[in-house]
């Protein structure tokens, strides 16, 4: 079945550091890929998405490129802020159609120190 | 903006109680989902519904049931709560074949 693997946390960085959170996936066909973010005490919010190979999703300074050849969708940001502290989830939706839900990674807790 | 609301942010119940978690969305979405979130396990799909009165099992349906009598409302039912159902429960909705799921704020359920 489909699966998502993302780097374990917590990841602790200083403000203005560069961020990369790795995400790789296993799926048949051409899944759609997502990054969701969960701020403390809140539900999940969609951060960005990509629906086909070589697409780049971007939002709030974050970017991720759908790489089918390496089955990856790494999240990057050039300069993080304290307000970026949250849990980040990589997810996919299979290409089989229908109303099935998303397959999530286990989440990466990001801590940004001033 | 899409709004998904859940009836409670925090809930404490006793073992054996029947528990109802309610979710309402205001965008006429066809698909609705229930997940549970546990540390180190991420989110796992419990049940989903693609239309009124329709439901499908997700990855971990055991111990749960659902009800969707109206399009905007999707209820998760724990028939007899157990301590291993202590978790964060997240509801989500999605319109038809579009891919973006919108999540509610979650209900943190503690079963004593």
Name the residue facing A106 among B33, B41, B101 (closest C-beta).
B41
Q: What pLDDT, on a 0 to 100 scale, did the predictor assign at position B97? A: 63
Name the residue facing A46 among B44, B58, B100 (closest C-beta).
B100
The minimum CA-CA distance between B34 and chain A, rounded to whole Å, is 9
Residue pair A109/A42 in contact (Cβ under 8 Å)? The answer is no
pLDDT tens profile A52-104: 999 999 999 999 999 999 999 999 999 999 999 999 999 998 766 555 778 89
**Cβ–Cβ gap B4/A89 under 8 Å:** no
Highest average pLDDT, of A41-50, A91-100, B95-104, comes from A41-50
Q: What pLDDT, on a 0 to 100 scale, did the predictor assign at position A61? A: 96
Q: Read off the tokens for A4.
A: 């998502």
Flag whether pLDDT at B1 surpasses 90. no
Q: How confident is the model at residue B23 (pLDDT cuts 50, 70, 90)?
A: very high
Q: What pLDDT, on a 0 to 100 scale, did the predictor assign at position A82? A: 96
In the block, tokens 């429960």 appear at B89
Q: How confident is the model at residue A40 (pLDDT cuts 50, 70, 90)?
A: confident
> Mutating which of A99, A107, A108 best tests the B interface, going by the most B Cβ atoms within 10 A?
A99
**Cβ–Cβ gap B100/A49 under 8 Å:** yes
DSSP structure class, residue B9: S
* Bond from prior residue into A60 cis (ω within 30 degrees of 0): no
Closest CA to B2 of B66, B76, B92, B90: B92
* Bond from prior residue into A10 cis (ω within 30 degrees of 0): yes
Which is it for the CA torsion B35, B38, B39, B45, positive or negative?
negative
């Amino acid at each position: 079945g489909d699966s998502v693997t993302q780097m374990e946390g917590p990841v602790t960085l200083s403000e203005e550091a560069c961020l990369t959170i790795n995400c790789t996936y296993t799926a048949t066909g051409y899944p759609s890929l997502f990054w969701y973010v969960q701020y403390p005490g809140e539900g999940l919010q969609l951060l960005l998405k990509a629906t086909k190979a070589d697409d780049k999703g971007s939002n709030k300074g974050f970017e991720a490129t759908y790489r089918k050849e390496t089955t990856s969708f790494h999240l990057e940001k050039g300069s993080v802020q304290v307000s970026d502290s949250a849990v980040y989830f990589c997810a996919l939706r299979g290409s089989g159609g229908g109303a099935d839900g998303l397959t999530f990674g286990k989440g990466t807790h990001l801590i940004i120190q001033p | 903006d899409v709004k998904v609301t859940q009836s409670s942010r925090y809930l404490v119940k006793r073992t054996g109680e029947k528990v109802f978690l309610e979710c309402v969305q205001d965008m006429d979405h066809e698909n609705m989902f229930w997940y549970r979130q546990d540390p180190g396990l991420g989110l796992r799909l419990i049940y989903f519904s693609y239309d009124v009165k329709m439901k499908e099992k997700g990855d971990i349906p055991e111990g749960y049931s659902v009800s969707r009598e109206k399009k905007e409302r999707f209820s998760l039912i724990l028939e007899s709560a157990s301590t291993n159902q202590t978790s964060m429960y997240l509801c989500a909705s999605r319109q038809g074949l579009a891919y973006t799921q919108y999540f509610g704020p979650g209900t943190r359920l503690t079963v004593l």
